[in-house]
Amino acid sequence: MDARWQPVVQTTVDHLRIRVYKSRDAMGAAAAAEVVNKMKEVQARKGRVRMVFAAAPSQNELLMHLCRAEGVDWSCVEVFHMDEYIGLPEDSPQRFSYYLQEHLFRHVHPGQVQLIRPDGDPERECTRYAQLLSEAPIDIVCLGIGENGHIAFNDPGVADFNDPAVVKSVCLDEKCRQQQVNDGCFPDLASVPQTALTLTVPALMSADHLIGVVPGPTKREAVRRALTGPVSEDCPASILRRHQDGVLYLDTVAYGVSEYAGD
């Protein structure tokens, strides 16, 4: 790997491996290399790969480097996304399906693209999408962490570490909705939908491999709570520490290097 992509901090919290980089680009490049390695391993073993992607500006660098990666047979890849707003027009650029189409799918052309379709009956869509996800094990999940500590749209107060559902409809808390404004996705809080469909925590945790990408100063407190606090639904991302093959890629700003003893 390019020397520029070497981590400045490597550590482990419970089972979760932590890799910290000087820049967002280095973080994204290193995370993409990890994803590609896992994809090739799974393809060699199973002949196909089933993946779930997060859709947010925090994932820009990861997806950019994935699009540039060589040696991946995307025709053998089935892709899903982990959440979607309810109530946005089908062609809205704020839709997560639109983001992933623009940043990944139209560049690499996966063999199968399974999009959440929240229009119409959301509960029926939960059932339909859960059936697709449950047809075979999920191999890789690429995710982020929200400013409130959520994973997908499992906000504090909604997240259930023992949720029996695979996909569910949720009401988004105000901090989660404000993050969408902070990210530049919506002009103001009133424009952000109040409800969404999301994969549940157990659905995300069921994947064989978890790869998280979390840059930026607005994520620092959530990262701190996830890594140093109790494993609790009050900070849903803390559950990542219990996954048997999870790695979290951060930049120094999100990690707050000087705040951690010994770093």
SS3 74: helix
219 has pLDDT over 90: yes
The angle subtended at Cα 102 by Cα 99 and Cα 106, nearest 5°, is 130
The tens digit of pLDDT for each residue in 221-258 reads 999 999 999 999 999 999 999 999 999 999 999 998 75
User: What would the 3-class secondary structure string for 163-208 be?
Assistant: CCCCEEEEECCHHHHHHHHHCCCCCCHHHCCCEEEEECHHHHHCCC
| Four-point Cα dihedral 103, 57, 19, 65, nearest 10 | 20
262 has pLDDT over 90: no
CA-nearest of 261, 218, 224, 227 to 246 is 227
The tens digit of pLDDT for each residue in 131-182 reads 999 999 999 999 999 999 999 999 999 999 999 999 999 999 998 999 888 8
The β-bridge partners of 229 are none
How many whole angstroms separate alpha carbon 109 and alpha carbon 95? 19
**pLDDT category of residue 261 using cuts at 50, 70 and 90:** very low
What is the reported pLDDT for 115? Answer: 97
Cβ-proximal residues to 112 (8 Å cutoff; 6+ apart), any chain: 77, 78, 79
| Four-point Cα dihedral 117, 64, 57, 227, nearest 10 | 100
What is the reported pLDDT for 257? Answer: 74
Mean pLDDT for 31-35 is 97
What is the reported pLDDT for 104? Answer: 97
How many whole angstroms separate alpha carbon 191 and alpha carbon 187? 7
CA-nearest of 233, 77, 69, 82 to 143 is 82
What is the reported pLDDT for 47? Answer: 96
Residue 195: C-alpha distances to residues 85, 91, 160, 216, 242 (Å): 6, 18, 17, 26, 28
What is the reported pLDDT for 54? Answer: 97
| Four-point Cα dihedral 82, 88, 93, 97, nearest 10 | 30
The tens digit of pLDDT for each residue in 64-110 reads 999 999 999 999 999 999 999 999 988 899 999 999 999 999 999 99
**pLDDT category of residue 3 using cuts at 50, 70 and 90:** low
Q: What's the token pair of residue 69? A: 């990666």
SS3 66: helix
* Residue 36: half-sphere exposure toward Cβ, Cα within 13 Å: 20
Paired sense of beta strands 140-143 and 209-214, if any: parallel
